[in-house]
Structure 1
Amino acid sequence: MSSPPPISVLLPVRNGAEYLPEAIASIEAQTYSKYEVIAVDDGSSDDSWFVLQEWASRDERVRVFRQGPDGIVPALEFARSEATGSYLARMDADDIAGPTRFELQLQLMESDSSLAICGCETEYFPLEKVRDGALRYQTWLNAPATPEEIEKEIFVECPLPHPAFFMRGDAIEEVGGYRDLGWPEDYDLLLRVWRSGGRLGKVSSVLMHWRETPQRLSRTDKRYSLDAFRRCKVHHLVSAFPSAVNGVLIWGAGRVGKGFGRELARVGVPVIAYAEVSPRKIGQNIHGAPVLDTDEALRLKDVLHLASVGQEGARQRLRNLLSRAGYRELENFVAMA
Structure 2
Amino acid sequence: MNDSLVSFVLPCFNSVGYLQQTLDSIEMQSYTAWECIAIDDGSSDATLSLLQAAAARDQRFKIISRENRGLIATLNEGIAAAQGEWIARIDADDICTPDRLEKQIAYCVEMGADICGSWVGFIGDRSGQWHTPVSDAQIRLALLFNTPIAHPSILARSALLKANPYPADAPHAEDYALWCQIAATSNARFANIPEVLLQYRTHPGQVTQAKKTALLITAQRVREQYARVALPVALQPLACEFAKLAEPTRILNHAEWLWMCDFFTQLIALQPECRGALGEFWLATLQRSRGVNVFDFPRALKLALQMPPPKAERKTLLKQTLRLAMSDALWRKLKP
TM-score, normalised relative to structure 1: 0.71
SS of equivalent to 1:215: coil
CA drift of 1:37 comes to 0.5
The amino acid across from 1:118 in the alignment is C
The verdict on how the C-alpha distance between 1:246 and 1:91 changes in structure 2, with shifts beyond 3 A counting, is: closer
d(CA) in 2 for partners of 1:79, 1:259 = 31
Q: CA deviation at 1:218?
A: 1.0
Q: How far did residue 294 of structure 1 move?
A: 5.3
1:293-315 CA-to-partner distances (Å, cap 9, x unmatched) read 959x86xx99xxxx997743749
For the 8 Å contact 1:218–1:224, the answer to whether it is kept is no
Amino acid at match of 1:101: R
Equivalent residues of 1:222, 1:228 under 8 A apart: no
Q: Give the 3 Å change call, closer, same or farther, for CA 69–293 of structure 1 in structure 2.
A: closer
Partner of 2:223: 233
Q: Give matches, 1:142-181, under 5 Å.
A: 142-174=131-163, 176-181=164-169
1:328 counterpart residue number: none
> 2 CA distance for matches of 1:172 and 1:231?
22
Distance verdict in 2 for CA 1:294–1:106, change over 3 Å: closer
Work out whether 1:101 is the aligned partner of 2:113.
Answer: no
Question: Aligned residue for 1:53?
Answer: 52
* 1:217 and 2:215 correspond: no
Shift of 1:48: 0.3
* Distance across 1 between alignment mates of 2:301 and 2:70: 41
Give the aligned residue type for 1:31: S
Q: CA deviation at 1:200?
A: 1.0
Q: Give the conservation status (yes or no) of the 8 Å contact 2:76–2:166.
A: yes
2-side partners of 1:319 and 1:194: how far apart? 27
Q: How high is the sequence identity, in percent, across the aligned residues?
A: 25
Q: Does 1:25 align with 2:7?
A: no
Alpha-carbon offset, residue 201 of structure 1: 0.7
Q: Corresponding residue for 1:331?
A: none
Unpaired segments of 5 or more residues in structure 2?
Answer: 271-277, 288-299, 309-336
Residue 130, structure 1, aligned to residue 126, structure 2: yes
Amino acid at match of 1:112: M
Show the 5 A alignment for 1:36-51. Answer: 36-51=35-50
| Partner in structure 2 of residue 205 of structure 1 | 195
1:203 deviates by 1.5
* Residue number in structure 2 paired with 1:72: 71
Offset at 1:191? 1.3
The answer to whether residue 245 in structure 2 is matched with residue 247 in structure 1 is: no
Q: Does 1:312 align with 2:284?
A: yes
Q: Per-residue displacement from partner, 1:162-193 (whole Å, max 9, x unpaired)?
A: 1101101122233x211221341111111122
How far residue 111 of structure 1 moved from its aligned partner, in angstroms, is 1.8
In structure 2, give the amino acid aligned to 1:189: L
Pair 1:155–1:249, CA change in 2 (3 A): closer
Q: 1:323 deviation in Å?
A: 7.5
- After the TM superposition, which residues 258-337 of structure 1 pair with which residues of structure 2 at under 5 Å, given as runs? 281=255, 311-312=283-284, 314=286
* Contact kept in structure 2, 1:5 and 1:84, CA below 8 Å: no
2:114 alignment partner, SS class: strand
Residue identity opposite 1:171 in structure 2: L
Cα deviation 1:222-264 (Å, max 9, x = unaligned): 5763222111111222244594797228998xx962879xxxx
| 1:190 alignment partner in structure 2 | 179
Q: Which residue of 1 aligns with 2:90?
A: 91
Q: Which of the pair is proportionally richer in helix?
A: 2
Name the count of aligned residue pairs. 279
The residue aligned with 2:116 is 118
Q: How many Å separate the matches in 2 of 1:202 and 1:173? A: 21
Name the SS for the 1:149 alignment partner: helix
Indicate the SS of the match to 2:64: strand
Q: TM-score, normalised by structure 2?
A: 0.71
Whole-angstrom CA distance in 2 between matches of 1:56 and 1:120 = 27
Alpha-carbon distance in structure 2 between the residues aligned to 1:292 and 1:210: 31
Give the letter aligned to residue 159 of structure 2. D
Cross-structure match for 2:34 = 35
Q: CA deviation at 1:5?
A: 5.3
Q: Secondary structure at the residue paired with 1:108?
A: helix
- Cα distance in structure 1, aligned partners of 2:132 and 2:141: 12
One-letter code aligned to 1:231: R
What is the one-letter code of the residue matched to 2:126?
Answer: V
Structure number with higher strand proportion: 1
Q: CA deviation at 1:149?
A: 2.7
- Which amino acid is 2:92 matched to? A
- 1:107-161 CA-to-partner distances (Å, cap 9, x unmatched) read 1112233x221011101013xx217xxx5xx4xx415223333333122211011
